[in-house]
Amino acid sequence: MKSPKQTSLNGIRDFLRSSFARSDKRCGTNFMVVRHSPDWLSFDSESSRAFCVKQNLPETHIIDFMAIWDAAVGIDYRQFRFRIKEIAQQTLISVEHAQIINDADLRTLALAGKVPPDALVVFVDDDDWLAPHLFARLREFASVRACVDGFIWGMVRLGRAVYTSDADANFALHPTVTLRPIDQTIYTNSYAVRGTVVERLGVDAVCECLDAQAQYDAGRFAPATVAQYLSCTNKHPASTMAAHHLLGSEGFRRDLRADIRRWAEGVMAVPLPVDLAWMEAPRDQLAALLADAARS
């Protein structure tokens, strides 16, 4: 008999592979593409070396962080990342008129010519949150901006608003809720590309936000701006970005659970605007997970 953890993991895996959709012909074809998402419960830390090098991080960055985390926190790194992914998956499942696939699936569809020209493709990491009405809003704008290459919109950041080169100073900062400026910057989950762009530039040119930004700066990707906050990046304590800025802190190494408590307190202390009510449920789930981890 499979354990509840394995059953839950298989459910997420099957969901991604099935390209489940609540289709509506009036809303067109909409893809949420989850980038390079491992099976966290069986994650091999050695496999992170290539990822870290690609991100210009020390090769053993994640390996070192996992060792510190697992020595201090009762919910081990793999289990914590798995539960973070489950919370994010619930927000994706709630998005109307959309299919969830992974980046390999999108490459396969693109090679087969099965990405419709008017499709909208949004890229996310496996801990990102999306508003349930994301594609409804984008399709409203698409109906009057038929010739644009896609869209960019506002993104909410959960975590420290800023980082410094001083790791101990970063440890002392209280994470919070930040509304990133809606400008010409393409963030990790704040852009959509049309199928025509996927065909013209290829998946690899737009799958990562830095590459999409390069295409935008070069004039090869021309999205319209939607002045609404429709996604959230979750810089939780086990995220690669947080680890990068905290590993050098003596305070962090001495009391990781203090940072987990600080994280939960910070993000829960800020009232959410009315138009971000969709974030309340995942934020509550995240706070409960962090509380469990801090008590361990």
Count of domains observed in the chain: 1
Contacts of 18 (CB under 8 A, 6+ apart): none
pLDDT given at position 143: 80
pLDDT given at position 296: 65
Model's pTM, two decimal places? 0.90
- Residues 116 and 28: beta-carbon distance below 8 Å: yes
Tens place of pLDDT for every residue, the chain, 296 residues? 445 444 444 544 454 444 444 445 567 899 999 998 999 999 999 999 998 998 899 999 999 999 999 999 989 999 999 999 999 999 999 999 999 999 999 999 999 999 999 999 999 999 999 999 999 999 999 887 768 999 999 999 999 988 999 999 999 999 999 999 999 999 999 999 999 999 999 999 999 999 999 999 999 999 999 999 999 999 999 999 899 999 999 999 999 999 999 999 988 999 999 999 999 999 999 999 999 999 86
How many angstroms separate the Cα of 60 from the Cα of each of 50, 63, 87, 266?
Answer: 9, 5, 27, 29
For 269, the domain range is 4-295
pLDDT given at position 285: 96
Q: How far apart are CA 182 and CA 196, in angstroms?
A: 24
Among the listed residues 224, 218, 229, 236, the one whose alpha carbon sits nearest the alpha carbon of residue 282: 236
Specify the 3-state DSSP secondary structure of 161.
coil
- Residues 98 and 31: beta-carbon distance below 8 Å: yes
* Residue in the block written with tokens 């990133």: 180
